[in-house]
């Protein structure tokens, strides 16, 4: 290897301009493939994070109107679901991870500093886990005792808390919802959220489902939120929840219009496919750039072989085997491609680090070069080296020492 490197260095010094251009072709290709994919990875992670802001693999179901007659009951009935219906459905579905009913009311919420009209959600404790509602330090979400004892406690969205209590922490303070006082037990930790149903969580208030139902005389829920234990079985879980509700509310479980369902995992799956396509297209574009660089290296190596024909003929005459010379040539190509690739990788990591520190990452995501991408880039570079050395190696293997010495 040391001999191959010495010979390569000697030859490159003879043709510096061509060597630099060929090397930069590989550098540019590596830089392009790594940086482009790093940005798509960052963007995908940002989308995932925002998508998870609504909830982690959840489905939201709300009652609607039947479209089929069922067991003597006519089509066109409006369905109404109680909290008990939701909790009973949850108990009946083994593949379910968690389910929470959700009441929604619009009312005035007031502190000593401000008064606003907002949506208040009446939910179970498990709702926080389903909807990724993490309390800021020092606070908590609605708990089981709050629900059991119908406590007048409330968990505020971070933006709402800031508007109600602009001068300090909201936790432990009192707000009035309508005319009823509630104790603020927690404030939402700031999060990214790209979709919602009835307002982003930062502007909502969350109270125990039992408290809200009693305070507003509500018997029927607006919707319920649930997810499967295994995300791959979400469709099965949704069908089972609808079937359980159908059994209690007496509608055809095959009636797709009776209960509307928004399965966010379908959206996430779709997004996954879109990004996969994006990665593939960008990867191919980068690989083509890299292949163009490899053509430059192949040309350089071929010229080197032609220029060294007499020297290679001499090597054969003094006992070098053609396979030895081919191996040496492949090692030289690998060194050259490796040097260009290493330079490209260093530049890519530097560029990604700089880009990842900018203010634009809120919109573009933080670009990142995952280990798998690094390994893939190394494999592509090796393939380039093998491809680039193929033609020159063939020329070497066909050298006739007598003819080469006459060269």
Residues lying near another protein in the complex (CB under 8 A): 2-3, 10, 14, 310-311, 314-324, 401-402, 405
State the Cα angle at 353 between 132 and 195, rounded to 5°.
Answer: 25
* Least Å from the CB of residue 314 to another protein: 5
* Least Å from the CB of residue 318 to another protein: 4
Residue closer to another protein by CB (options 322, 356) is 322
* Least Å from the CB of residue 312 to another protein: 10
Residue closer to another protein by CB (options 354, 402) is 402
Residue closer to another protein by CB (options 99, 325) is 325
Residue closer to another protein by CB (options 267, 397) is 397
State the Cα angle at 125 between 242 and 136, rounded to 5°.
Answer: 130
Residue closer to another protein by CB (options 12, 345) is 12
Nearby residues of 174 by Cβ (< 8 Å), 6 or more positions away: 111, 181, 182, 183, 184
Residue closer to another protein by CB (options 235, 405) is 405
* Least Å from the CB of residue 338 to another protein: 22
Query: Would you give the distance in Å from CA 19 to the centre of its chain?
Result: 40
Residue closer to another protein by CB (options 384, 396) is 396
Residue closer to another protein by CB (options 260, 407) is 407
Residue closer to another protein by CB (options 61, 316) is 316
* Least Å from the CB of residue 311 to another protein: 5
* Least Å from the CB of residue 325 to another protein: 9
**Cα–Cα distance between 181 and 179 in angstroms, integer?**
7
* Least Å from the CB of residue 13 to another protein: 9
* Least Å from the CB of residue 1 to another protein: 11
* Least Å from the CB of residue 324 to another protein: 6
């Amino acid at each position: 290897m040391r001999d191959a490197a010495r010979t390569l260095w000697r030859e490159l010094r003879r043709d510096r301009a061509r060597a630099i251009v060929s090397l930069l072709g590989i550098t540019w290709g590596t830089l392009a493939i790594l940086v482009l994919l790093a940005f798509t990875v960052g963007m995908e992670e940002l989308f995932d994070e925002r998508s998870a802001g609504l909830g982690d693999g959840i489905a939201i179901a709300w009652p609607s109107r039947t479209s089929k007659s069922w067991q003597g009951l006519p089509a066109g009935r409006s369905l109404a679901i109680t909290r008990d219906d939701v909790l009973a459905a949850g108990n009946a579905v083994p593949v379910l991870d968690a389910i929470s009913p959700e009441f929604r009311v619009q009312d005035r919420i007031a502190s000593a500093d401000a008064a606003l009209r907002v949506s208040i959600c009446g939910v179970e404790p498990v709702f926080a886990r389903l909807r990724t509602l993490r309390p800021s330090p020092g606070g908590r979400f609605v708990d089981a005792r709050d629900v059991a004892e119908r406590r007048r406690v409330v968990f505020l969205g971070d933006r709402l808390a800031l508007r109600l209590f602009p001068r300090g922490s909201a936790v432990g303070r009192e707000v009035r919802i309508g005319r009823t006082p509630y104790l603020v037990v927690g404030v939402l930790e700031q999060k990214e959220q790209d979709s919602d149903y009835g307002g982003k969580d930062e502007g909502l208030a969350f109270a125990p489902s039992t408290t809200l139902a009693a305070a507003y005389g509500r018997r029927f829920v607006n919707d319920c939120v649930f997810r499967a234990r295994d995300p791959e079985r979400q469709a099965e879980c949704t069908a089972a929840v609808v079937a359980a509700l159908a059994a209690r509310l007496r509608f055809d479980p095959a009636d797709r219009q009776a209960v509307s369902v928004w399965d966010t995992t379908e959206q996430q799956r779709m997004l996954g496919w879109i990004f996969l396509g994006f990665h593939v297209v960008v990867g191919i574009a980068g690989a083509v750039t890299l292949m163009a660089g490899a053509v430059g290296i192949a040309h350089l190596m071929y010229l080197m072989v032609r220029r060294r024909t007499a020297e290679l003929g001499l090597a054969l005459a003094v006992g070098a085997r053609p396979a030895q010379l081919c191996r040496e040539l492949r090692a030289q190509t690998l060194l050259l491609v490796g040097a260009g690739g290493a330079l490209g990788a260093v530049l890519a990591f530097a560029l990604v680090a700089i880009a990842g520190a900018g203010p634009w990452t809120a919109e573009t995501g933080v670009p990142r070069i995952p280990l798998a991408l690094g390994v893939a880039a190394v494999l592509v570079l090796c393939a380039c080296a093998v491809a680039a050395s193929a033609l020159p190696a063939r020329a070497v293997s066909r050298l006739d020492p007598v003819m080469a010495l006459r060269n």
